[in-house]
Amino acid sequence: MTAVKLDVRPIEASLSFKSMAHDALKRAITSMNIYDSNQELRLDERQLSADLGISRTPIREALIRLEQEGLVRSVPRRGMFVVRKTKKEILEIITVWAALESMAARLITLQASDAEIASLRALFTDFETHEPRLRIDEYSEANIRFHQSIVNLSRNHALIDTMDNLFIHMRSIRRRTISEDDRVTRSIIDHMNIIEALERRETDRAERLVRQHSLDLAKHIEKHVTYLE
Amino acid sequence: MTAVKLDVRPIEASLSFKSMAHDALKRAITSMNIYDSNQELRLDERQLSADLGISRTPIREALIRLEQEGLVRSVPRRGMFVVRKTKKEILEIITVWAALESMAARLITLQASDAEIASLRALFTDFETHEPRLRIDEYSEANIRFHQSIVNLSRNHALIDTMDNLFIHMRSIRRRTISEDDRVTRSIIDHMNIIEALERRETDRAERLVRQHSLDLAKHIEKHVTYLE
DNA sequence: GTCGAGTATTATGTATACCAGATACCAGAC
DNA sequence: GTCTGGTATCTGGTATACATAATACTCGAC
């Protein structure tokens, strides 16, 4: 007697309240524009508990994860506060970003397939015929996808995970700065140069271009961004 | 009537059970040699609760932080397990390490004072007259301090924090590999070259040397380390 | 009206209770 | 003896209770 083999998949086991609360809070925090107001943004555990319909325990556990991710800060006996990054901190993050993404570029020239590199170019084909400045939101999204693709193509999970964490703090900034000055044109030129270097497997040049592209953003923010303290 | 100004410091407010449990567990995990046994290393919350003399709540919160740091992994409804990094994961971490430390070297050439750079050289003066291979433990510590100093001199807190996290997983590896082959001699030569480049403010060369030094460690581990799965 | 001490209230930190899933154990069928 | 299914126990996930620090409020002195 032999048992029938049913084609079933494992049940999604990660629906814990803790992780759901984490996702919900993360989304809520990243989508709110924390730099508009100047008030201290305290998170009331009981309030969140009521809003999400679960007890404080999983919410506290979610908040601790958010704290490690740098989205909130715990002040003992006072509560959790949404973190507002200072300009200095943003610049530091971009510097780390530059280090990691330029390493990703190195790895791509050494390990990625031609097809994978070609997929980067595909992200911008839409904008060859249309003026990107007229479709700034779309371009901004393509821009973000470009940078994430570079990281992902590195095939280095430690690097990908570390960048994900930094990315949280950068997304809003990138979207905001892309519409300033003539950064769109500059950005496209940079990207095309980077792709070219990757295609030609010019390891050092690809690394340098990616690093410089990020550090240029840092310079721009340092000089022009005023809404950070 | 004017109030007297007493010279008092803020009371250490971070003596929460949560943070104490975090420290205790972190120390316990990093000091145990997780690669000696092959068993699954599960952490029993109630056991820890009894051992530390506090309730499960702060222990769970400490474990969540450890999970974010990559020291333990939570399996839903099963518990927390001490993470054993695979060889592949260690190599990935070293690659990220290389990216960050080489960026730190860049920053040092651009921003650090001569005195700060000189302090790096001082770490090794003890070993100029004495044969380092005979004092391998001391040299290993100096070696670790050297790398940490480079990171710290970058003055970039985002970078420092990120590296701290990676460092947890590297300390045991570095100590173990330093005694193999003739890596000590190689290591000293590399370090001296790095310091020289920093002193001369040769940004690109310093960056390249630091990166290569780390990637060489990766190559060595890839080729010779067998105790990682 | 302003300041300050004392009190009430609120919210976090911790402990405990409870529930449901996971594991271990046991008994019966074959 | 081996396998299957049932049952007890254990353990993590969540809810709740409680204690103490932090805050808001009140009221009286001046």
Percent of chain B clearing pLDDT 70 (strictly above): 90
- What's residue B173's pLDDT? 77
Looking at per-residue pLDDT, the higher value among B219 and B35 belongs to: B219
In angstroms, what separates the C-alpha of B103 from chain A's closest C-alpha? 6
Whether B177 has a pLDDT exceeding 90, the answer reads no
User: Side chain identity at B58, as an amino acid letter?
Assistant: P
pTM score of the predicted model: 0.90
A111-125 pLDDT, tens digit each: 999 999 999 999 988
**Contact by Cβ (8 Å): A117, A108:** yes
Least confident segment among A23-37, B67-81, B193-207: A23-37
Whether B162 has a pLDDT exceeding 80, the answer reads yes
Q: Count other C-beta atoms under 10 Å from residue B40's C-beta.
A: 11
Q: Which nucleotide has the least CA–C1' distance to B49?
A: C15
Q: Is the Cβ of B158 closer than 8 Å to some Cβ of chain A?
A: yes
- What's residue B40's pLDDT? 80
- What's residue A193's pLDDT? 97
Whether B61 has a pLDDT exceeding 70, the answer reads yes
Contact: A64, B65; criterion CB under 8 Å: yes
φ/ψ (deg, to 5) at B73: -130, 135
Q: Is the Cβ of B14 closer than 8 Å to some Cβ of chain A?
A: yes
User: Side chain identity at B17, as an amino acid letter?
Assistant: F
Which residue stretches of chain A have pLDDT < 50? none
Which chain B residues touch A45 with a CB distance below 8 Å? none
Q: Is the Cβ of A96 closer than 8 Å to some Cβ of chain B?
A: yes
Residue the block writes with tokens 């291979």: B133
**Contact by Cβ (8 Å): B220, B100:** no
| DSSP per-residue codes, A82-151 | E----HHHHHHHHHHHHHHHHHHHHHHHHH--HHHHHHHHHTTTHHHHS-GGGGHHHHHHHHHHHHHHHH
Beta carbons within 8 Å of A187's beta carbon, 6+ residues apart = A143, A178
Tell me which chain B residue has its CA closest to the CA of residue A15.
B76
Q: Count other C-beta atoms under 10 Å from residue A55's C-beta.
A: 12
In chain A, what is the greatest distance between 2 CA atoms, to the nearest angstrom? 76
Structure tokens at B143: 């070696």
Q: Estimate in Å the CA A42 to C1' D22 gap, whole number.
A: 14
Going by C-alpha positions, the residue among A191, A64, A81, A173 that lies closest to residue A127 is A191
CA distance B225 to B209: 23
Which chain A residues touch B162 with a CB distance below 8 Å? 96, 162
Contact: A158, B100; criterion CB under 8 Å: no
Contact: A99, B95; criterion CB under 8 Å: no
Whether B195 has a pLDDT exceeding 70, the answer reads yes
Q: What is the mean pLDDT of the segment spanning B161-170?
A: 93
Q: Which nucleotide has the least CA–C1' distance to B48?
A: D11
Q: How far is CA A4 from the centre of its chain?
A: 46
Looking at per-residue pLDDT, the higher value among A143 and B44 belongs to: B44
Domains of chain A and any CATH numbers:
17-82 (1.10.10.10), 87-224 (1.20.120.530)
